[in-house]
Amino acid sequence: MNEPHDIPAQTVFNLNQAAVNGIRASGATSQLILVEGTSYTGAWTWTTSSGNSAVFGAIKDPNNNVAIEMHQYLDSDGSGTSATCVSSTIGAERLQAATQWLQANNLKGFLGEIGAGSNADCISAVQGAFCSMQQSGVWLGALWWAAGPWWGTYYQSIEPPSGPAIAEILPQAMMPFL
């Protein structure tokens, strides 16, 4: 389920736990399973308004190969609809509480969506997010939103050869972490 919303965190947790149990019962024992919380699985709301932090610490996998997938955009409302970032430090700031929660619950995280504009503040914010993730020891990685030929001139596209973000975000904010 991608970005569940308007569903109580406990219900989303129950669905995720049932999925983990079913996947393992089917014989799939070596695969990483990503689970998402409610409220669009936002990292910045993970420990505050979503209710996710109250329930997802109890996720169980007999193979200990599950990670919490979160999403994070760096514009004012966290939606990824604006190319303007809140500040040059917002990336690390928005991940801080979620990172501390992952550490406290001995869980791994995966940033399944991150995106920002191609300006100086956003480049610094993305660098800060990736740096904080790398230093934390709990994040497995991240995926940029968006790529693929269907995005055209969408401001977050890193689609070669000329996605709007490919000239700035990719070399300056992403390549140092690959």
Mention every residue, 6+ apart, whose C-beta is less than 8 A from residue 18. Answer: none
| Orientation of helix 90-104 relative to helix 120-136, angle to 10° | 20
| pTM (predicted TM-score) | 0.96
Ramachandran quadrant class, 78 (left: phi over 0; alpha: psi -120 to 50; beta: rest): left
Q: What is the identity of the amino acid at 9?
A: A
pLDDT in tens, 26-85: 999 999 999 999 999 999 999 999 999 999 999 999 999 999 999 999 999 999 999 999
Catalytic site includes residue 3: yes
Check 93, 113, 159, 168 and give the catalytic one.
113
- Condensed to tens digits (0 to 9), the pLDDT of residues 78-126 reads 999 999 999 999 999 999 999 999 999 999 999 999 999 999 999 999 9
Q: What is the pLDDT of residue 96?
A: 99
Please give the CATH number for the structural domain made up of 9-177.
3.20.20.80
* 113: annotated active-site residue: yes
pLDDT recorded at residue 166: 86
Reported as a pLDDT band with limits 50, 70 and 90, residue 156 is: very high
